[in-house]
Amino acid sequence: MGGSVKLVANNKKAYHDYFIDEKYEAGIALAGTEVKSLRMGKCSIKEAFVRIENGEMLIYGMHVSPYEKGNLFNKDPLRVRKLLLHRSEINKLTGRIKEKGYTIVPLQVYFRGSLAKVEVGLARGKKLYDKRQDIAKKDMRREAEREYKIRNFG
């Protein structure tokens, strides 16, 4: 089931704060005006998180701005939305998050063809020293690229 992919929202903070072990693609249960708002790129998942309750995956804190022409059909921008995954995937994730240190974070929202999707990641929290190591690696790579650029084009 292919189709073109159009990115709506990205959660860069998740990659900074967590080690992402596995990624899953989930559908989102949306109202009509929310889909129109998403198509215009009016979405934020910076503060969002995912919980599993009663065998259902729910996303909290995902902000979808109200559609301008939606008037009374608009829903609450921060309402809890259901994520659509196969039962076996939800059961697998439930088992993994019961382990110490695991959580589920939304990574990006996008359209695959005409369907709105959320990429969620099974994540382990980073400690402060892990973040420092990542920043040091980034700085070293940036410095190396700068040296290479100067040497080859300067």
The hierarchical CATH code for the domain 5-126 is 2.40.280.10
Sign of CA dihedral 89, 94, 100, 102: positive
Q: Can you give the residue ranges of every domain in the chain?
A: 5-126
What is the pTM for the complete model shown? 0.71
45-69 b/e (C-beta count within 10 Å ≥ 16 → b): beebebebeeeebbbeebebebbee
Question: Which tens digits make up the pLDDT trace of 29-40?
Answer: 887 788 888 888
Question: Which tens digits make up the pLDDT trace of 71-124?
Answer: 666 666 678 888 888 998 888 888 888 877 788 889 888 988 888 889 988 888
Question: Which tens digits make up the pLDDT trace of 53-83?
Answer: 888 889 888 888 777 776 666 666 678 888 8
Task: Supply the pLDDT for residue 86.
Answer: 92
Q: Is the pLDDT of residue 1 over 60?
A: no
